[in-house]
Copies of this chain bind each other. A is one copy, B any other.
Amino acid sequence: MQRHLDVELTRLKDELVRMAGLAEAAIGLAVKALVSRDAEAAREVIASDGTINALEMEIDELCLRAMALYQPEARDLRLLAMALKINNDLERMGDQAVNIAERTLELLKEPLLKPLIDIPRMAELAQRMVKESIDAFVHQDPLRARGVCAQDDAVDSYDDQIFRELLTYMMQDPKAITRSVNLILVSRHLERIADHATNIAEDVIYLVEGKNIKHHALDPSARASA
């Protein structure tokens, strides 16, 4: 019986890695569309969301079937419950990528406001967090998971910095307002993606160490000023 379950768990992990790959690719393509002003790529992100959504449902079913068929013990049950949550986080990342693509299509209606420097850097960081959070899950590696959590503050700093910079643009020129607001929203979507990756990492730490660091600071002094 246990061996059947192990096969299912391996399959489940593979599917979650595939799902994470799709989410990562969607984020990458959405930001590429933004930076290179490519409407076609933006529309591709929007169209590809269906694949991510379909995979979410498949993975949910996989989890529920494994729970029902193999009556797993406590630890495997927790793993399956975590997989349900992680699956949800990945799907939401896909939604955020779609939101970025939608903002991009709005932004393409006007000339480039400014060369984009921080947003692509922030996106790279967020993408890396997505990849590493799933690696941490697959390898049940709390160290890697903590690495993901530690990067969340850097993403928040980018978000703050981008917000402030774009406020300045808007103050100087009313014609910059619509584009600035749209870029602020892009930055918020990237910040949400990093949040989802952090959730996944926190779940991994809980799963492996039984310690719930969710809703707690890794470093209280750092958070207090956030």
Residues on B with C-beta less than 8 A from A178 are 167
Most chain B CB within 10 A, of A53, A85, A215, is at A215
Copies held by the complex = 2
Question: What interface size band does chain A fall in?
Answer: 20 to 34
Q: Bound complex: CA of A135 vs CA of B57, how far in Å?
A: 24
Residues on B with C-beta less than 8 A from A18 are none
Residues on B with C-beta less than 8 A from A81 are 60, 63-64, 67, 81, 84
A121 at the interface (CB under 8 A from B): no
- Chain B nearest CB from A191 CB (Å) reads 11
A161 at the interface (CB under 8 A from B): no
A contacts, CB < 8 Å to B? 49-50, 53-54, 57, 60, 63-64, 67-68, 71, 73-74, 77-78, 81, 84-85, 88, 163, 167, 170-171, 174, 177-178, 181, 184-185, 188, 212, 214-215
